[in-house]
Amino acid sequence: MDHHVSELLRSLPSKVFLPGSQRYTESLESYFSAQETLVKPACIVCPGTTADVATTLSLLLQANRLKGIGSVKFAVRSGGHACFAGSANVTDGVTIDLRDLSLIELSQDSSQVFVGTGASWGQVYRALDPLGLAIPGGRHSQVGVGGLTLGGGLSHFSGHVGLVCDNVLEYEVVLASGLIVRATQNDPEYSDLFYALRGGSNNFGIVTQFTFRTFDQGHLWGGILIHPIETHAQQLQAFYGFCADSYDPNASLIHSFGMSSERGSGFVNSVVYTKPKQDPAVVKPFTEIQPIYQNTLRELSLTTLTTEQDAFNENGLWTLANLFATAKAITPTIIAHSPFLQEAIPDLATNSNKTVVVAQLTGTWKASEDTAAVETAAMKLIDGIDREARAADMHTGYIYLNYAHVGQNVFGEGQRKERLREISRKYDPGGVFQRAVPGGFKLF
């Protein structure tokens, strides 16, 4: 047994799990993709408190200093919903499973909610729905709070409040040294860290808790529309109209099309209106398309809506996050509510009135031997789309981190990336999160 694993067992005997233990197996089987499930760490640490995380990081820092930074690898996971192998797991290293950090607690006046990074969005919605409150979050209940928020986070409420990260008031974070700090936007000591954590992923420390701003929210109007693929011309026209200047900020749409060997081909539109208004005008261009195979639109809670969405994200399959094509519109209204996007999308300075379409290509398959062929075909398709978008002068330079595939340059080049690098050097001068945490998207 490696010395650092022995030290973790000695310091956190009830929180460290070895291969063959029930908790180790359960943790691996809970990942979204088959690729992540098959990655086998030397041990899994399941901290129950922020202090446990600090102890874990301190020991891993000591081990890396002893053997050389990067020699002892570790990974950090919240919901484990990222797809590619090693995104939140690590072979022969230490995986830190944060799911026991699942606190959900309202402030005394209910204007804020404190959420542990390991909670799922389903847990958050189940706690807030009965109180008539909400925060912007995942559109599937099984997604973890930590990963979505640190990647930016699109939600059904983006038209009102921007991205998920725009609604964080405070981060509780454990730095590489084991120091626990709280970062807010106006704190003169840690305001730069607050800036970096807004869309900066796992490059600066381990966030253990978020403080979110709440808002009043009752039932919504939403559900799924399924149409045959032959309606493609009408679908694209309806999507274009949805993105127009008259965009309704209460409306949210996930516009998808693709094929399945088991279900055939078709369009699947996930439509949400954040008020319980039956058949709002913005939805009619889609509901009027005929023929229609399925229409589940109705008044429902956020909990019910996001739980139903999970049916389209089956766990345990080989998955390529980036070949089901999904389009999501980031309209000028959303951008106006998002300080993060105003800086993260490079060409907004010259054109702030355009709608940015986030295109996600998703493939799932059941046989591991098909992996190479699928990934090769997918990357060829992605490269082609990228090339055509640039040729038509329609490429924004922005890659949404939560949908990105391994190897994509999500931070781009320029002033924002340089500032993030500068903040990384300040809070992690040894480069622990750059060299010892191979998962995610790195700054260097």
Instruction: Give me the mean pLDDT over the 409-422 stretch.
Output: 94
> Is 326 or 162 the better-scoring residue by pLDDT?
162
Mean pLDDT, rounded, for 277-302: 96
- Contact by Cβ (8 Å): 138, 121: yes
The pLDDT, as a whole number, for residue 318 is 65
pLDDT at 350 over 70: no
Reported as half-sphere exposure (CB side, CA atoms, 13 A), residue 338 has a value of 29
pLDDT above 90 covers what percent of the chain?
76
Model confidence at 20, in pLDDT bands (50, 70, 90)? very high
> Quick one: pLDDT at residue 24?
98
Tell me the pLDDT band of 316, cut-offs 50, 70 and 90. low
Give tens-digit pLDDT for 118-169.
Answer: 999 999 999 999 999 999 999 999 999 999 999 999 999 999 999 999 999 9
Query: Percentage of residues in the chain with pLDDT exceeding 70?
Result: 96
Distance between CA 141 and CA 121 in Å, rounded? 5
Which pLDDT does position 324 carry in this prediction? Answer: 54
- What's the helix, strand, coil split of the chain in %, to 5? 35, 25, 40
Per residue in 35-86, pLDDT (tens digit) is 899 999 999 999 999 999 999 999 999 999 999 999 999 999 999 998 888 9
What's the confidence (pLDDT) of residue 323?
Answer: 44
Confidence of residue 381 (pLDDT cuts 50, 70, 90): confident
Q: Is residue 336 pLDDT above 80, yes or no? A: yes
pLDDT for 365: 82
> Does 19 sit behind a cis peptide bond, omega within 30 degrees of 0 on the bond before it?
no
The pLDDT value recorded for residue 349 is: 54
Contact in structure between 439 and 76 (CB atoms under 8 Å): yes
pLDDT at 31: 95
The predicted pLDDT at position 160 comes to 93
- Compute the C-alpha angle 394/399/402, nearest 5°: 145
Q: Find out whether 139 and 152 touch, Cβ atoms under 8 Å.
A: no
Q: What is the pLDDT of residue 220?
A: 98
Which helix (DSSP H) or strand (DSSP E) does residue 182 occupy?
strand 180-184
Pick 365 or 384 by higher pLDDT. Answer: 384
Question: Nearest to residue 273, comparing CAs of 312, 247, 234?
Answer: 247
Specify the pLDDT at position 53: 98
Long-range CB contacts (within 8 A, 24+) of 58-61: 58/177, 58/178, 59/4, 59/7, 59/8, 59/11, 60/4, 60/94, 60/432, 60/436, 61/176, 61/177, 61/178, 61/430, 61/432
Least confident of 22-26, 145-149, 266-270: 266-270
Radius of gyration for the chain, computed over Cα atoms and rounded to the nearest angstrom: 22
pLDDT higher at 219 or 366: 219
Q: What is the pLDDT of residue 340?
A: 94
The C-alpha angle with vertex 246 and arms to 240 and 251, in degrees rounded to 5, equals 75
Lowest pLDDT segment from 17-26, 231-240, 393-402 = 393-402
* pLDDT score for 322: 40
To which H or E segment does residue 244 belong?
none
